[in-house]
Structure 1
Amino acid sequence: MNNFNVFSSKSQVIDLIRKADDDDKTKELINKFKHIKQERIPFYLTSVELDEILLWKLRGQFNRQSKIRKNNTAENIKIITQAAFAIKHHNNDFETKLRLRLLTMLYGVEVPVASAIMTLCFPALYSVIDFRNWRQFYPDSKEKTSYTPDEYLNYLQLIRQLADSFEVTPQEIDMAIWQLDIEQSQKIKS
């Protein structure tokens, strides 16, 4: 994807974002974590909050790994998320990789879910990686469902460039691309 530019205008991007979050669940979660970050210092997630993120990200597939996720204790969730969010490094890519790796220490959390956790907690910095958005950037590649931290970093760089060009957050441009893929898929099916 070096020439990914399927958006004609910022208004199209905004319209896609609105459609993607038509029930405002994404905005609600982002606002919730924004407030929690101000009140809970150091910031971490509880098991209930992690489940909210998992439900948001996995939707109908929420129960897919529920058995393995039961191995996560409330204390481990707190310690691992607190450590991930506390990571600071002068190299942003290294910081992102460390956060991803820490979050994937949780049972049932791989890079896509770790990216969702980071995105909802830090929407100005991160975006979710998934097969829909990957397909938009790399239409000739085989459908992917798992990603390495390096693939996420390359993807995130592209997302950030697009977000900057349309003056939205990485999280918002991610939603616009996700919705675009849904709409294109529906056209193909009809």
Structure 2
Amino acid sequence: MITATQLIPYNPSGDEELKRLKQQFAKLRQERVPLYLTLDEFDQILHWKLRGQYARQRERRKANTDEVVRTITKAALSLTVPDEDYEIELRFGILCALRGVSVPVASAILALVFPEKYAVIDFRVWRQVFDEERTTFSVSDYKRYLHEIQRLAHELGWQVQEVDFAIWEYDRRNSWKPTINRATS
């Protein structure tokens, strides 16, 4: 299990794309009440989160029109309830109604819009936090994950999204899997 001390060299302050997106959505939070995302803004998040896998569900996501994205994200992003765990369940349930959105993508939307509150769930960070391999996640998994990221954020004095990114970068730089040489096996 990763510790706060291990994360200090991986503070994400140098990631320009992450900074740009967070600034863009912070500005939107001030200007757009109630808050919603346009199809273009939603697509920017997909590009950032999915990177090389962006094209994988492109056809499925075509059903997400600008009107649909605005309506769904408005409902999810403007919703607040006193019980934070219930708010997570509701927000994820609403966002996952969009085609091509599952728990990891919904977490990316929430983490970019509310970086002080949410983190992006990912197999790399899960591996470092819980010392187990996992590639699919439920909302219950996310809540467990977020509580651990929040604990580390509190310890470091960082935003939860910064901790999440630092763990992702730590794993990317420090984890490796041996490759099988098919010519000799």
TM score, norm. by length of structure 1:
0.89
Moved more, 22-31 or 124-133: 22-31
Q: Does 1:17 align with 2:2?
A: no
Distance, in Å, in 1 between the alignment partners of 2:84 and 2:129 is: 22
Q: Does 1:100 align with 2:130?
A: no
Query: Structure 1's 133 and 5: CA in aligned 2 closer, same or farther, altered over 3 A?
Result: closer
Aligned residue identity for 1:37: R
Q: Does 1:173 align with 2:163?
A: yes
Stretches of structure 1 that go unaligned for 5 or more consecutive residues are none
Distance, in Å, in 2 between the alignment partners of 1:23 and 1:8 is: 20
Q: Does 1:128 align with 2:120?
A: yes
Given that residues 4 and 155 in structure 2 are in contact (C-alpha distance below 8 angstroms), is that contact kept between their aligned partners in structure 1?
A: no
1:33 is matched with 25
Size of the aligned set, in residue pairs, is 179
Matches within 5 A, 1:1-190: 4-8=1-5, 12-13=7-8, 15-18=9-12, 22-139=14-131, 141=132, 143-186=133-176
Query: Structure 1's 183 and 189: CA in aligned 2 closer, same or farther, altered over 3 A?
Result: farther
Distance, in Å, in 2 between the alignment partners of 1:125 and 1:7 is: 18
2:183 is matched with none
Given that residues 110 and 146 in structure 1 are in contact (C-alpha distance below 8 angstroms), is that contact kept between their aligned partners in structure 2?
A: no
Percent identity of equivalent pairs: 42
Q: Deviation at 1:5?
A: 4.1
Distance, in Å, in 1 between the alignment partners of 2:141 and 2:65 is: 29
Distance, in Å, in 2 between the alignment partners of 1:39 and 1:6 is: 37
Q: Deviations over 1:80-110 (max 9, x none)?
A: 0000011111101100110011000000000
Q: Deviations over 1:23-53 (max 9, x none)?
A: 4100100000010111111110000000000
Aligned alpha-carbon RMSD (Å): 1.7
Stretches of structure 2 that go unaligned for 5 or more consecutive residues are 180-185
Aligned residue identity for 1:6: T
Displaced runs of 4+ in structure 1, greater than 3 A?
4-7
Distance, in Å, in 2 between the alignment partners of 1:155 and 1:171 is: 12
Q: Deviations over 1:132-154 (max 9, x none)?
A: 01111222x3x322211111001
Distance, in Å, in 2 between the alignment partners of 1:74 and 1:50 is: 9
Distance, in Å, in 2 between the alignment partners of 1:34 and 1:90 is: 22
